[in-house]
Structure 1
Amino acid sequence: MITFHFEEITPIALPTNVDEWLQSILQSEGKKEGEINYILCDDSYLLQINRTYLNHDDYTDIITFDTVRGKVISGDIFVSLPRIKENAVVHAVSFNSELLRVLAHGVYHLCGYKDKTPEQAALMRSKEEFAIGRYADFA
């Protein structure tokens, strides 16, 4: 089950059928849906998560906590909506496009993809772009 929660931020309308789209990403990776919680929040909330659990003192757009068991994908994915808004401007894309990219990014992390090396980051980006391209099938 994929759920969305809002912490320390005004709730927003999510893109149409986003949960079905995220489920399709899992299926395309040969994974099964477990319990995936998206926590959409503000910068200060995510900064505190970053400081408390990762010992990092910087802003980020996403933090993923993995509770995956085999092919069953579960975890908590924290997303800063102000970072999404800022990154959309920087990358000259719509807010929804950037939001979809980050939501997919979290699921791909839960599927085992990393983004620490240039090669890993390039693969992650291609996965994100592929998923975003398929979103129109669900809208």
Structure 2
Amino acid sequence: MIQFNYETNFSLTNENELADWISNVIISEGYKLEEINYIFCDDEYLFKLNVEFLNHDTLTDIISFDYSIGKIIQGDIFISVERVRDNASDFKVSFLDELHRVMVHGVLHYCGYKDKSLEDESMMRAKENHYLKQLV
């Protein structure tokens, strides 16, 4: 089950389509979906989480808490709508394209993909691009 929660003045217009897309990503990666909660918030909300739980004193676009066990995917994905909007402008892409990239990014972490090294980041981007094409 995928749930969408809003802690800011924002909401998705196509929740069912996005839930199906994310579910298909998980299945394609050989995992089973238990539960993912997307929480859309603002910079202040996510900054507090970043400081409290990760000891990072910076803004970020996404924080994911992974509760997965083996191949069963569970987690909470917090996304700053403000940060996504700013990043979309910086990267010269649409807000929705960047939002979808961040949404699938969190799920790909749950599926075992990392992004700390250049090689891992390259693989993550390739996977993001692959799945973003399926959303169209």
Is the contact between residue 15 and residue 96 of structure 1 (CA under 8 Å) also seen in structure 2? no
CA–CA distance in 2 between the matches of 1:15 and 1:118?
A: 33
- TM-score, length basis structure 2: 0.96
CA–CA distance in 2 between the matches of 1:10 and 1:69?
A: 33
Residue 10 (structure 1) aligns with? 9
CA–CA distance in 1 between the matches of 2:54 and 2:13?
A: 28
List runs of 5+ in structure 2 lacking aligned partners: none
- Deviation at 1:112? 1.2
Residue 131 (structure 2) aligns with? 131
Could you say what the CA RMSD is over the residues aligned between the two structures, in angstroms? Answer: 1.0
CA–CA distance in 1 between the matches of 2:11 and 2:19?
A: 15
CA–CA distance in 1 between the matches of 2:10 and 2:90?
A: 23
Q: Deviations over 1:11-67 (max 9, x none)?
A: 323446000000010011010001101111000000000000000000000011110
CA–CA distance in 2 between the matches of 1:131 and 1:15?
A: 17
**Secondary structure class of the residue paired with 1:33:** strand
Is the contact between residue 37 and residue 75 of structure 1 (CA under 8 Å) also seen in structure 2? yes
After superposing the two structures, state which structure 1 stretch, 12-21 or 118-127, moved more. 12-21
- Whose helix proportion is higher, 1 or 2? 2
CA–CA distance in 1 between the matches of 2:77 and 2:123?
A: 20
Of all paired residues, the percent bearing the same amino acid is 47
Is the contact between residue 62 and residue 79 of structure 1 (CA under 8 Å) also seen in structure 2? yes
**Secondary structure class of the residue paired with 2:5:** strand
Pairs aligned (count): 135
* Closer/same/farther in 2, CA of residues 125 and 15 from structure 1, 3 Å limit: farther
What amino acid sits opposite 1:6 in the alignment? Y
Residue 108 (structure 1) aligns with? 108
**Secondary structure class of the residue paired with 1:37:** strand
What amino acid sits opposite 1:39 in the alignment? I
- TM-score, length basis structure 1: 0.94
CA–CA distance in 2 between the matches of 1:61 and 1:131?
A: 19
**After TM superposition, what 4+ stretches of structure 1 lie above 3 angstroms from structure 2?**
none
Q: Deviations over 1:46-105 (max 9, x none)?
A: 000000000000000001111001111000111000011011111111111001000000
